Structure 1
Amino acid sequence: MKLLRRKEGPSLDSRLAALLEAAELGEGRLPEQDVSAARSVAERAGTRRSLSVDHTVAALAGATGSGKSSLYNVLAGEDLAAVGVTRPTTSTAQAALWDGEGAGPLLDWLDVPLRHSAPEAPGMSGLVLLDLPDHDSIRLSHRLEVDRLVALVDLLIWVVDPQKYADAALHERYLRPLAAHRDVMLVVLNQVDRLPPQAVDRCLADLRRLLEEDGLTGVPVLAVSARTGAGVPELRSILADRVAERESWAARLAADVTTAAGHLAVDGSRTAPVKQAAGLDRRLTGALSAAAGVPLVLEAVAKGHRHRAVVATGWPVTRWLRRFRPDPLRRLRIGVGKPDKEIVGRTSVPAASAVQRAQVDTAIRDVGEAAAVDLPGPWAAAVRQAARSRSPELADAVDRAVGRTATGATRRPRWWRMVNVLQWLVFAAMAAGALWLGVLFGMDYLRLPQPPLPTVGAVPWPTVLLAGGALAGVLIAMLSRLAAWAGGRRRARRTARALRAAIGQVGEEYVLAPVAAELARYTRFTEAVTIARS
């Protein structure tokens, strides 16, 4: 009879790396006890592999009176362990070594000071057999010693007797939690010489049933008698096979990785893809836009465009009056710098109202809830926290985005410059006509002879220049104002699209990106746990 073989899958190194990655990704999200246990397994694996891999450490563990010390002596071929009626007899672990050269550092790591050289036996070279204290001892130090070594040895041999093989303490405290270690476990029913053959079969059948309930289906179960030697050769054969394979240490570590990864996955490591509810980014952008006063900014963009257009293209005689009116954008501290450059300080856009702030908080909460809907508890909480993680910075970031984007609305169209030049030319013509007429009036006042006066039809040129320049300037100003009104509306629409994109980018960076990062972390965690448990 041989122990179960491990299934093919990822290498032990890959699984250990995946376990460490899962522990790191689960830091702060999963119980610290499980995370620490996973890291401890990885650390223990590194230490065990650095020691002797040519030795197999097997431990005889059992309850008081199970006869494990007697079985230990039989396997060792000498009376190494004290056997008596006083309980507990075994107070500290001791080791029997078959060809124990090089096993010293391994036993130092196991902290087993009592060591004995066992007589040579076929196939046993490299075996280190431990006799553990009773796991149900009345002394706490004995139970703690058992717990410590059960977590370290390569091969576990549970010795039970016909009276106590169903003891709840054994099954609930050790066998059931070690269900993943079935490949490095063996159960021995000792003292079968006290039972008739039919009773032995019934005990073995019942013991196998209990092991199946513990999740240990297929674990070898042997009937032995340390007193008569029945079943001992079969036990020696199994131990010889395991020693010859030199793989029990790796199988034990693989089982430890499986168990630790299973504990990390207790809270639900679902591998199904998590999809964020559609439309939440638009709702978030809308709430942020309202809170940032975008409607007010867009109104200022349209009015500011018309204001600057009048200043740039209006009739030079009256346009200076327009300068006494404040620019709507500059009143909001927008447009005080160069376009597309970061403005210093906040804008003067009114702060968001309580209702608007509540709408932003609701939109952020909805993003977190939608992203966390399919996640287990701790990870769902982490995703919701990620959605809110940068909320204190959000208002300033949106304000900067509004100021930077809206500053682009202060660019001066090229036609303003051309109309401005045309206005000054018309104004120059009007001024020339006025000056010409002034000279003529002065000469007439001084009774000087009048020079020849060119005309346009019946109208003198000075009058044409003065009146025509004034009318042309006013007409150009009116047409420019109509064009500026239409341009202001177009600019407001373009600015609305730019602001929505800029605010959407802020929402992406400050809300959606942290959520996406947390979801990606969860995906990597589930992948790592899957590899570690393979």
Structure 2
Amino acid sequence: MTERPGPVARAAEKVFGGERSDVATRLDGLSEAVEAARDRLADDVLDPAAALAERASDRLRLSGEHTIVALAGATGSGKSSLFNCLTDLELAGVGVRRPTTSWALACSWGPDGAQELLEWMGIPARHQVSRMSMLDRSSADTKLDGLVLLDLPDHDSTEVSHHLEMDRLVQYADLLVWVLDPQKYADAAIHDRYIRPMAGYSDVTLVVLNQIDRIHYSDRERALGDVRAILEREGLPDVPVIGVSAHRGDGVDDLKRELARRIRAKASAKDRLAQDVAEAAQRVVATGGRADIPGLTDIDRQALDLALLDSVGAPQLVEAVEASTLRTARRHTGWPPLRWVGRLRKDPLRELGIDPTGSVASLTRAVRPSIGHVQRAQAESAVREIAEKAAVGLERPWRDAVRNASVRTGDDVVRELDDTIDRIDLGLSRTPVWWRLVDVLQWLAFAAFVAGVGWGAVELASRVAGWEVPEAPVVVGFSLPLLLLVGGLAVGVVLAVLARVTVRASARRRAQRAEAVLRRAVDEVAQEKVLAPLQAELDRYERYRSGIVRALG
């Protein structure tokens, strides 16, 4: 089946040249995972991921032609001077006029500007400027068309609002440029709070050692090497480190060339979003996991059915049906004198206080009390056991969801089984035609036997009394009374023997039909009340897992 792109992917296809991008697939996966995990994982786990997915979707929708570059640094790092140097304008106040950067400034390059993008980031119009109408004397390899440059508030400002504004805008940047100064390039404040925690974003990170003109020429490479060593220890070994002097212009063209290369590649936005999605997905995975679980097997389902069959007394019911069928059939097909003897033995169903002509409902109502509470407790135990098997490999939130589904169904399944079994009619009151036919033949044979016995007795009595009686007819060489007696007895016995063999097979078939009906009924209840809710939770987890796997790439 071909995977259809989601709304994020469709937006990305429009933005990034009509091609389905990896970051779009990841975003769709993250959104799907968040949706599937809602009410299963905690909101404080899912809400940041959902917010990221929404923000990233908006970013893809708004513009793929611009690269957002954020200059971040401490007070006195020369960040605002570098901003002015890159823009060739005196936009940001520096020095005594603006001792700390208290608000973000934005400058965009290109004929189309980036007003909608800047409004989305929450940059006020008075803090925006576009260079689309200004002459740009830069060489081809340093042209910055498509750049949106942000001068962020100082990270070490004493104003809480400045920290909040910087933390907010860092999330929007496609490329982060950390501006360090020679005196404080190893300052723990920026490294511990920002650079080290964002080690996973090394592909969209640059480090600028500003004010390099304050370092003697012979010591510059050593200073740059120190910065690279610090970054390597922090997990960012491949981050470019560029030495510049915003005051004299040293290295500024190198920085512009690096920025221009990133802008032309149009990879920074996608790389940043991809890493954002991966980080968000990893935070969700830490709670929800991503294991490929075995789920429920046919053996698990069969074990549940067997336990539920035991809980309704199905084995006892099947045995009672077979025994009762044998008893009833023999009353219809047996030799009449033997039937009268058999009536002295108790019917297995009547022993339970059941009308043998009734439905399975009457059977179950009588059999269930003999089962007791232990077997019924086993049904609830079987539901809990299959829930535990379904939850194997799941992290705790998903295990709890599966268990809760089984708890909700544990009581219902027993009541539903009772109601379902009570509605079943096994047709025990129906008498097969062949029973009736054999019954007629048996009575005819018995009548012949009785006639033969009676006729013979009359003849014998007459002779003893000396009465004259006509001779009995002779048939095929035998006296008719004797033929009736022997023939009636022989036919009755043969019919009884043949019927007994056939009745056993018939009783087994009826018991098997009863068992099949009970199994189907129990299986339907198990499917509706137990397996379907559990499978729904597993399917939901699979949607979550599939989304997370795509989000992680």
Give the structure-1-normalised TM-score: 0.78
Q: Give the Cα–Cα distance (whole angstroms) in 1 for the partners of residues 497 and 115 of structure 2.
A: 102
Q: Is the contact between residue 185 and residue 227 of structure 2 (CA under 8 Å) also seen in structure 1?
A: yes
- The 3-state SS of whatever aligns with 2:52 is helix
Match 2:398 to one of 379, 395, 407: 379
Report the Cα offset of residue 100 of structure 1: 5.5
1:3 corresponds in structure 2 to: none
> Per-residue CA shift, 1:302-354, capped at 9, x if unaligned?
222123314433567997997998882996799856x9xxx799855426644
Q: Is the contact between residue 334 and residue 407 of structure 1 (CA under 8 Å) also seen in structure 2?
A: no
* Pair 1:263 & 2:283 matched: yes
Aligned-partner residue type, residue 350 of structure 1: R
Q: Is the contact between residue 72 and residue 177 of structure 2 (CA under 8 Å) also seen in structure 1?
A: yes
- The 3-state SS of whatever aligns with 1:266 is helix
* Pair 1:418 & 2:429 matched: no
> Per-residue CA shift, 1:336-386, capped at 9, x if unaligned?
56x9xxx79985542664433443444444434444443333334344445
2:13 corresponds in structure 1 to: none
Q: Give the Cα–Cα distance (whole angstroms) in 1 for the partners of residues 548 and 172 of structure 2.
A: 22
2:266 corresponds in structure 1 to: 246
Aligned-partner residue type, residue 349 of structure 2: P
Distance 1:344 1:359, change over 3 A: closer
2:38 corresponds in structure 1 to: 27
Q: Give the Cα–Cα distance (whole angstroms) in 1 for the partners of residues 282 and 508 of structure 2.
A: 62
Q: Give the Cα–Cα distance (whole angstroms) in 2 for the partners of residues 82 and 492 of structure 1.
A: 95
Q: Give the Cα–Cα distance (whole angstroms) in 1 for the partners of residues 188 and 426 of structure 2.
A: 76
Q: Give the Cα–Cα distance (whole angstroms) in 2 for the partners of residues 379 and 495 of structure 1.
A: 39
1:390 corresponds in structure 2 to: 409
* Pair 1:204 & 2:217 matched: no
Q: Is the contact between residue 34 and residue 49 of structure 2 (CA under 8 Å) also seen in structure 1?
A: yes
Comparing 124-133 with 92-101, greater Cα deviation is found at 92-101
* Pair 1:115 & 2:128 matched: yes
Q: Give the Cα–Cα distance (whole angstroms) in 1 for the partners of residues 233 and 287 of structure 2.
A: 23
Comparing 177-186 with 392-401, greater Cα deviation is found at 392-401
Aligned-partner residue type, residue 97 of structure 1: S
* Pair 1:56 & 2:67 matched: yes
2:294 corresponds in structure 1 to: 274
Report the Cα offset of residue 111 of structure 1: 1.4
1:528 corresponds in structure 2 to: 547
Match 1:68 to one of 70, 75, 79: 79
1:5 corresponds in structure 2 to: none
1:444 corresponds in structure 2 to: none
Give the structure-2-normalised TM-score: 0.76
- The 3-state SS of whatever aligns with 2:368 is coil
> Per-residue CA shift, 1:20-62, capped at 9, x if unaligned?
2222233333332332333333322332233233222211122
Aligned-partner residue type, residue 175 of structure 1: I
Q: Give the Cα–Cα distance (whole angstroms) in 2 for the partners of residues 188 and 27 of structure 1.
A: 42
Distance 1:195 1:323, change over 3 A: farther
Q: Is the contact between residue 180 and residue 208 of structure 2 (CA under 8 Å) also seen in structure 1?
A: yes
* Pair 1:328 & 2:341 matched: no
Comparing 164-173 with 428-437, greater Cα deviation is found at 428-437
* Pair 1:80 & 2:91 matched: yes
Q: Give the Cα–Cα distance (whole angstroms) in 2 for the partners of residues 185 and 108 of structure 1.
A: 24
- The 3-state SS of whatever aligns with 1:59 is strand
Distance 1:58 1:505, change over 3 A: same
- The 3-state SS of whatever aligns with 1:222 is strand
Report the Cα offset of residue 112 of structure 1: 0.8
Match 2:209 to one of 175, 185, 189: 189
Report the Cα offset of residue 267 of structure 1: 3.7
- The 3-state SS of whatever aligns with 2:129 is strand
Q: Give the Cα–Cα distance (whole angstroms) in 2 for the partners of residues 495 and 139 of structure 1.
A: 81
Aligned-partner residue type, residue 263 of structure 2: V
Aligned-partner residue type, residue 148 of structure 1: R
5+ residue gaps, structure 1: 1-7, 441-448
Aligned-partner residue type, residue 78 of structure 2: G
Alignment of 1:6-45 (within 5 A): 11-45=22-56
**Identity among equivalent pairs (%):** 44
Q: Give the Cα–Cα distance (whole angstroms) in 1 for the partners of residues 363 and 24 of structure 2.
A: 54
* Pair 1:99 & 2:118 matched: no
Q: Is the contact between residue 213 and residue 245 of structure 2 (CA under 8 Å) also seen in structure 1?
A: yes
- The 3-state SS of whatever aligns with 1:390 is helix
Q: Give the Cα–Cα distance (whole angstroms) in 2 for the partners of residues 53 and 479 of structure 1.
A: 90
Comparing 497-506 with 361-370, greater Cα deviation is found at 497-506
Q: Give the Cα–Cα distance (whole angstroms) in 1 for the partners of residues 168 and 500 of structure 2.
A: 89
Comparing 353-362 with 397-406, greater Cα deviation is found at 397-406
Q: Is the contact between residue 113 and residue 130 of structure 2 (CA under 8 Å) also seen in structure 1?
A: no
Report the Cα offset of residue 533 of structure 1: 1.9
Q: Give the Cα–Cα distance (whole angstroms) in 2 for the partners of residues 278 and 163 of structure 1.
A: 69
Q: How many residues align?
A: 514
Q: Give the Cα–Cα distance (whole angstroms) in 2 for the partners of residues 385 and 371 of structure 1.
A: 12
Distance 1:502 1:377, change over 3 A: same
Alignment of 1:203-242 (within 5 A): 203-242=223-262
Match 1:149 to one of 169, 187, 201: 169
Q: Is the contact between residue 71 and residue 83 of structure 2 (CA under 8 Å) also seen in structure 1?
A: yes
Q: Give the Cα–Cα distance (whole angstroms) in 2 for the partners of residues 403 and 334 of structure 1.
A: 16
Q: Give the Cα–Cα distance (whole angstroms) in 1 for the partners of residues 365 and 45 of structure 2.
A: 49
> Per-residue CA shift, 1:155-186, capped at 9, x if unaligned?
22122223443444433443344333322221
- Aligned-pair Cα RMSD in Å: 4.5
Aligned-partner residue type, residue 70 of structure 1: S
Q: Give the Cα–Cα distance (whole angstroms) in 2 for the partners of residues 154 and 424 of structure 1.
A: 100
- The 3-state SS of whatever aligns with 1:186 is strand
Q: Is the contact between residue 84 and residue 90 of structure 2 (CA under 8 Å) also seen in structure 1?
A: yes
Distance 1:87 1:326, change over 3 A: farther
- The 3-state SS of whatever aligns with 2:178 is strand
Report the Cα offset of residue 458 of structure 1: 11
Distance 1:228 1:395, change over 3 A: same
Distance 1:77 1:383, change over 3 A: same
Report the Cα offset of residue 201 of structure 1: 3.9
- The 3-state SS of whatever aligns with 1:58 is strand
Report the Cα offset of residue 269 of structure 1: 4.1
Report the Cα offset of residue 9 of structure 1: 10
